Structure formats: C-alpha cells, structure tokens
Amino acid sequence: MTESSGAADRLWCERAVLSGGAASGVLLEVANGRFVTVSPASDPVEGVERLEGWVVPGFVDTHVHGGGGHDYATTDPDEALAARAFHRRHGTTTSFASLVTAGLDTLVAQLGTLAPLVHRGELAGVHLEGPFLSPARKGAHDETLLRTPTPELVDRLLAAADGTLRMVTLAPELPGALDATARLVAAGVAVAVGHTDGDETDARRALDAGASVATHLFNAMRPVHQREPGPVPVLLDDERVMVELIGDGFHLHPDIVRLAVAAAGLEGTALVTDAMVATGMPDGAYSLGGLDVVVRRGEARLVEDDGAPGSIAGSTLTMAAGFEFLRRTGLSVPGAAWLAASTPARRHELDGVGVIEPGGQADLCVVDDAGRLQRVLQRGGWVTR
Ligand SMILES: [Zn+2]
C-alpha cells in the first residue's frame, strides 16, 4: 500500500464502481468528508490526483471481533479504537464491533464502553454474537455462559447499548427466541440466525418473526443434507435474508462461496471477516472470550483440554484479504464490491456509506485488477499505513 496522508479534494479514477455500476474515467470532488460531485471525465484532469486501477466503495465489515492484537471485547475504549485503526488500514471504513458470549455483567460493561464510540462515529454499531446460542453449535463460545433469551435479558442488553446495538445473533430454536426476535426487531436491531442446531422450520419461523441476516452461513449450523436440508437452503433462498460469508478460503471452500453467491445474489451476500484479536499478528497463543486459542498458519482454533486443536475460533482475515479471495473465486471487482461494501451497508441501512455517490461519505478503496488493496480513503482523508 502506498504511504500517503492528508485530505483529498479532487480525484480522477481510471475505473470506479459507482452506485449505477462500473464506469471508466470518473472525476470525484470531495469536500468536508463527503463526495460533492461524481462525474464522467474520460481523460485524466490536469493537476488532479490520478488513481489507477479500480476505485470501489470503502469496505463495510459487519462481523468483526478485533485485530492487530486488539479486541473489541474490552472496557478500555483505546483498545477498541486500536482494533478499529488496524482494520481501517486494511480497507474497513465502516465497521460494527462484534462481542462474543460473556457473562451478563461483562457484556453490559463492554456495551457501555463501545456505545460512546458508536455515538462518536468511530463504529457503526455493536453486534452481539451471543449469549443466545445453541450449546450444540457453540463454536468458540463459552458454553457455561450461554443463555436463553428472556425479555428481561434482552431489555437489559438493549438498555446497556444505549441505541447502538445493530445486530444480535441468536439460535431460533431456543425457548423464547422468536419473542426475542420480534422484540429486538421492534427496537431497530437486526436479528441474525446463527450458532443454531435448528432445522429448516426453525429458520423459516425466525424469518417470519423478523430475522434478516444469517451469521457466517454454513459455519456453526447444520450442514445441508438432501433429505434433511437444515437452515442453509432457506437462508440462501429467502430474499429477506442477507447471508454473511467468511472469505478466508478456510471457513468455506471456494466452490461453496460460488454456490452461495449464485443462490443469494450480490444483493443478498455480505463478505465479513469474523476477525479476532490475532488478525495481522504472528502465529501463537491468544484468547477469545476468555477461551484459549492457538493460531497456526493463520488458522485460529480453540485449545481442547488435552491440548489438541478444537473448533475454529474466528478468523485472521482482513476485508482486504477477503476482497482478494472473492476475486480468486471468479467474482469481478464490481461484484466483490457489492459483497464487501454495498450490500452490507444497504441491508443494515447504513446511510451514506457503501456507495460512491454525491452526498455520500467520501470513503473508498483503491484496488488493482487482482483485487489487491492499494490505498484507503476515509471521510476524505487518506489513511496512512
Ligand atoms: Zn463472530
């Protein structure tokens, strides 16, 4: 990535992915952190900074736990900001902060730490992945801390988040889960089906109750079987759902990614990192939600009691690396830009981001033909690596 900093005012793009589609030769005017005009300009403009390759909307990551050695599950705002800064350098200009299962008092304290960062615009919202998950599909969540979603618990979490909670992952087969779904949706919170041992009927009920996202589709849910389909086909097929895919080439085989994108469409599929603290760090021993994790060749797994590697424990993916992976699966740069920015922004109603258009926040990523990240602009300022 090019070292650069400072503010941009006019930029000429060789190729750009705009709200209306891909375009060649585009002039962007930026003021006060926003795009003012987006206009055709077939030739580079004298005195205007020239961006080669592709200009795509800044990446939007709606499922991420940390990175660069820093964790969003914290009561130290500087720790959360350091995780945010790490991912910004890797193209994430808009981000939720995801929290794994923890004790209720701990979650309340973490929500209280993150809420001011959302109000300040550092984060776009908070995602609770737990504690309302199935013990049978717990993945890297502490089973002893899993809960069933009572109205009292839901209300306590909503109050602690102070309007910043944007998504809750829950297993729809748990007692009270459908009532909790309706309660959360009424409070403006997206409900995601995930970490579920439920079947296709449970998934359908969740969608009818208002659920609109699938948390890392395929991972931590029943696999597809021709006579026992489980939740995956319903979640792929129903237009009300945006499915999250972890694009690290390890959680999902490239053939599965192609299948999912073909079924859910560009407007129904989001790239997420599910990145944990070890992202961007050397292999070694880490922790996720108080559980021991070992990272080998970038693959994070729980450490079992006998020391053997266990469940996959999040990823060490950045949005930049995920974008490159999507290109390698055969998606075009504009197609990958839908998954990495436009679709999650649109589905989560994140106004002014995920698209390059007049009035929108001046966030963009410059990538080459292979999808490799070159530069990042956030709110009109170049992000220095
Ligand atoms: Zn996660």
Q: What is the mean pLDDT of residues 134-155?
A: 95
* Catalytic choice (238, 248, 274, 363): 274
What is the 352 CA–ligand 1 centroid distance (Å)? 25
The structural domain count of the chain equals: 2
In this structure, are 260 and 178 located in the same domain? yes
Q: If you measure from the C-alpha of residue 6 to the centroid of ligand 1, how many angstroms do you get, rounded to a whole number?
A: 34
Query: pLDDT over 70 for what percent of the chain?
Result: 98
Determine how β-strand 70-71 pairs with β-strand 66-67.
Answer: antiparallel
- CA 129 to centroid of ligand 1, rounded, Å: 6
- pLDDT value of position 305: 86
How far, in Å, from the CA of 7 to the mean position of ligand 1?
Answer: 34
| Omega within 30 of 0 (cis) for the link into 116 | no
Cα of 94 vs centre of ligand 1, distance in Å, is 17
In a domain, 1, yes or no: no
Average pLDDT of every residue of the chain: 96
Least confident of 152-161, 306-315, 372-381: 306-315
The CATH number of the domain where 363 resides is what? 2.30.40.10
- Report pLDDT for 301: 93
> Both 365 and 273 in a single domain?
no
Residue 95: per-residue pLDDT: 98
Within a domain: 216: yes
For tokens 């839908």, the residue is 338
In this structure, the answer to whether residues 63 and 52 fall within a common structural domain is no
| Residue (of 292, 290, 291, 295) closest to 279 by Cα position | 295
In a domain, 124, yes or no: yes
Contact 288, 278 (CB under 8 A): no
Pair (338, 364) in one structural domain: no
Query: What pLDDT is stored for residue 371 in this prediction?
Result: 98
Q: At 11, is the secondary structure helix, strand, or coil?
A: strand
Residue 84 sits in which domain range?
59-347
**Is it the case that residue 3 has pLDDT exceeding 70?**
no
| 78 catalytically annotated | no
pTM over 0.95: yes
Q: Are 92 and 104 in contact (CB under 8 A)?
A: no
Same domain, 233 and 340: yes
How many whole angstroms from 12 Cα to the centroid of ligand 1?
Answer: 37
Q: Clarify whether residues 52 and 63 are in a common domain.
A: no
pLDDT of residue 5: 55
Digit-coded pLDDT (tens) for 126-137: 999 999 999 999
Q: Is omega for the bond preceding 151 within 30 degrees of 0, making it cis? A: no
For residues 279 and 224, state if they share a domain: yes
Is 22 in the same domain as 152?
no
Please tell me the distance between residue 98's alpha carbon and the centre of ligand 1 in angstroms: 7
| CA geometry: angle 369, 370, 374, nearest 5 deg | 75
Q: Are residues 27 and 122 in the same domain?
A: no
Residue 248 lies in a domain: yes
**Tens of pLDDT, residues 157-196:** 999 999 999 999 999 999 999 999 999 999 999 999 999 9
Residue 30 sits in the same domain as residue 152: no
What pLDDT is stored for residue 385 in this prediction? 46
Each residue's pLDDT tens digit, 324-379: 999 999 999 999 999 999 999 999 999 999 999 999 999 999 999 999 999 999 99
* Continuous segment of H or E residues that includes residue 84: helix 77-89
The CATH number that applies at residue 63 is: 3.20.20.140
- Cα 62 to ligand 1 centre (Å): 10
Q: Is 102 contained in some domain?
A: yes
On whether both 255 and 118 belong to a single domain, the answer is yes
Distance of CA 109 to the CA centre of its chain: 22
> How much is the pLDDT for 8?
78
How close is the Cα of 204 to the center of ligand 1, in Å? Answer: 22
The answer to whether residue 226 sits within a structural domain is yes
| pLDDT tens per residue, range 231-273 | 999 999 999 999 999 999 999 999 999 999 999 999 999 999 9
260, 170: one domain: yes
